[in-house]
Amino acid sequence: MVVNISDIERARLRIRDRIRPTSLEPSYSLSQMCGVSVHLKHEHRQTTGSFKLRGASNAVLQLSRDEQAQGVVTASTGNHGRALSFAAKTCGVKATICMSDLVPENKVSEIRRLGAEVRIVGHSQDDAQEEAERLARAEGVCLVPAFDHPAVIAGQGTLGLEIVEALPDVSTVLIQLSGGGLAAGVALAVKSRRPKARIIGITMERGAAMKASLDASRPVQVEECESLADSLGGGIGLDNRWTFAMCQDLLDDVILLSEQEIAAGMQHAYLQEREVVEGAGAVGIAALVANKVGNLNGPVVALLSGRNVDMELHRRVVCGV
């Protein structure tokens, strides 16, 4: 395995002045509902509104001066693009973010506000990825992938270290599963400290690329669809080098959620926890509310991964107006 626990520990030292450690809070409503202790990791309160700043910062800080001078490029469903734009700006590095037309406007406008160049390309994350790779080849800019990169995986894994240090006897971690950078990094960190902990990936039914790939025992393409959990969209890359193998080795289960179940998770987060989270950020809560986690043992940690939701959408989904 390319990434190891030492990489994650070094990443934490490297990015400690660039990110904020986030709190792990007990959820009384979910604990009562599930009959076991449930805690919520408030990563949606991270600077830039999602966990993505950890991996993006770790990647940018490891670039050479020459690489930083060339600038960085990536493909993103929104949160990685925002995080990379922020990390690049703080280091004086030019950033170009390629996205499909499925990315919500609130995420696009925030990336532009941070000074990055935005390119809207095609109708899927795969289309945006092709453009990012083309720019890297044609213009010599440094490609910083959203998930399939050792520095990104190690950066996301710092979140797992925080979980185990705050809750040493954690038994189950519910983690967002998309391209696998977050799931791989957190699973590695948690299992290195707590080998018997179960790490369960949570994703949407529509276009779950990593789940389809795990079922096929190889990376496969899927059709990308609109979803409340838009941050979980996109493929994992047919030439995936790191996250597929790590998720295959480290994840104990994967749970799929319907759009209605994701909406119920967003509603619970707001009405019971008083937290505004985007659809992807609520999938851990949603899996618990839908009673989809089998053999549930506590303590349980569900990650609130991001808050970058269009507030009009949030109002319609959560408040029904």
164-186 pLDDT, tens digit each:
999 999 999 999 999 999 999 99
Q: What domain count does the chain have? A: 2
Annotation says 94 is catalytic = no
Last residue of a domain, one of 91, 108, 143: 143
Predicted TM-score (pTM) of the model is 0.94
Same domain, 132 and 256: no
Same domain, 65 and 162: no
Last residue of a domain, one of 119, 143, 167: 143
Cβ–Cβ contacts within 10 Å for residue 313, how many?
A: 16
Closest by Cα among 12, 317, 3 to 155: 12
Catalytic residue among 100, 178, 227, 305: 305
Pick the range with the lowest mean pLDDT from 66-75, 172-181, 257-266, 310-319: 310-319
Same domain, 159 and 279: yes
Question: Residue 278 is part of a domain; what is its CATH number?
Answer: 3.40.50.1100
Catalytic residue among 52, 107, 191, 211: 52
pLDDT at 1 over 60: no
Same domain, 61 and 43: no
CA distance 182 to 201: 10
Closest by Cα among 53, 180, 179 to 110: 53
Domain that holds residue 74: 53-143
DSSP state of 195: T
Question: What dihedral do alpha carbons 232, 220, 218, 130 form, nearest 10°?
Answer: -80
Cβ–Cβ contacts within 10 Å for residue 248, how many?
A: 15
Q: Is residue 148 within 8 Å of residue 181, measured between CB atoms?
A: yes
Q: How confident is the model at residue 225 (pLDDT cuts 50, 70, 90)?
A: confident
Q: What is the pLDDT of residue 125?
A: 82
Last residue of a domain, one of 116, 143, 170: 143
Annotation says 124 is catalytic = no
Find the radius of gyration of the CA atoms of the chain: 18
pLDDT in tens, 4-15: 999 999 999 999
Q: What is the pLDDT of residue 77?
A: 85
